Chain A
Amino acid sequence: MTTTSSNPNPLADTMPTFIGMPKFPTMAKEALGNTQQRRNLQHATHTIRAKRAAVVGEMNDWEALRRNGADTKDEVLAHLDTYLEQLEAKLVESGATVHWARDAEEANRIVIGLVQAEGVDEVVKVKSMATQEIELNEALEEVGIAAWETDLAELIVQLGDDRPSHILVPAIHRGRAEIREIFRNKMAAVGRPAPEGMTDEPRQLAEAARLHLREKFLRAKVAISGANFAIADTGTLVVLESEGNGRMCLTLPETLISVVGIEKVLPTWEDLGTFMQLLPRSSTGERMNPYTTMWTGPAAGDGPQNVHVVLVDNGRTHVLADEVGRQGLRCIRCSACLNVCPVYERAGGHAYGSVYPGPIGAVLTPQLRGTGSAIDQSLPYASSLCGACFEVCPVRIDIPRMLVHLRTQVVDEHRGTRNAESSAMQAMAWMFADNRRLQKAQRAATLGGKLLGKRTSLGAIPGPASAWSGARDVPVPPKETFRQWWSRTDGGRR
Chain B
Amino acid sequence: MSQTDARAVILERIRAAGASSSAPAEVPPPPPDTVLDESAMLELLVENLRDYRAVVTEVNGPELRPAVDAVLQRHGCRTVTVAPALDDSDRPTDAFTVIEDHGLSSQELDGIDAVVTTSRVAIAETGTVVLDHDGGQARRALSLVPDVHICIVRADQVVTSVPEGVSRLRPSVEKGLPLTWISGPSATSDIELNRVEGVHGPRNLEVILVR
Contact = CB atoms under 8 A, between A and B. Distances in A.
A68 B13 contact: no
Contact of A234 (B174, B190, B200): B174
Contact of B126 (A99, A288, A299, A311): A288
Contact of A251 (B29, B140, B183): B140
A245 B199 contact: yes
Interface stretch (A24-32, A207-215, A454-462, A484-492): A207-215
Contacts of A176: 191-192
Interface residues of A, number: 96
Contact of A303 (B128, B139, B199): B139
A156 B190 contact: yes
B19 A9 contact: no
A472 interface: no
Interface in B124-146: 125-128, 133, 139-141, 144
Interface in B141-200: 141, 144, 161-167, 169-170, 173-174, 176-194, 196, 198-200
Interface in A332-346: none
B201 A171 contact: no
Contacts of A60: 31, 34
B27 A213 contact: no
B81 interface: no
A295 interface: yes
A245 to B, nearest CB: 5
Q: Taking chain B's interface residues, is the majority helix, strand, or loop, or is none over half, making it mixed?
A: mixed
Interface stretch (A139-147, A265-273, A349-357, A379-387): A265-273
Interface string B68-110: 0000000000000000000000000000000000010011001
Candidate in B15, B28, B190, B199 with the most chain A CB atoms within 10 angstroms: B190
Contacts of B39: none
Interface stretch (A13-21, A315-323, A361-369, A409-417): A315-323
Given A71-B28, A294-B178, A244 B186 contact: yes
Nearest to B53: A290
A323 B20 CA distance: 11
Most buried by B among A75, A206, A274, A300: A206
Interface stretch (A79-87, A430-438, A473-481): A79-87
Interface in A228-259: 234, 236, 242-245, 247-248, 251-252
Contacts of A422: none
Given A102-B9, A175-B192, A274-B163, A64 B28 contact: yes
Nearest to A237: B178
Given A94-B176, A287-B126, A84 B6 contact: no
Contact of A317 (B13, B127, B190, B199): B13
A294 B173 contact: yes
Nearest to B23: A78
Interface centre among A43, A94, A169 (most CB of B within 10 A): A169
The 4 A-B residue pairs with the shortest CB-CB distance in the complex, in nearest-first order: A244-B201, A273-B163, A78-B23, A244-B200
Interface of A: 8-9, 40, 43-44, 47-48, 60-61, 64-65, 67-68, 71-72, 74-75, 77-81, 84-85, 94-95, 99-102, 106, 150-153, 156, 169, 171-172, 175-176, 179, 202-203, 205-206, 209-210, 213-214, 217-218, 234, 236, 242-245, 247-248, 251-252, 262, 269-270, 272-274, 276-277, 280, 284, 286-297, 299-303, 311, 313, 317, 320-321, 323, 326
Given A75-B27, A291-B181, A295-B178, 10 more contacts: A64-B30, A75-B24, A202-B191, A243-B187, A269-B169, A289-B183, A291-B183, A299-B139, A311-B10, A321-B19
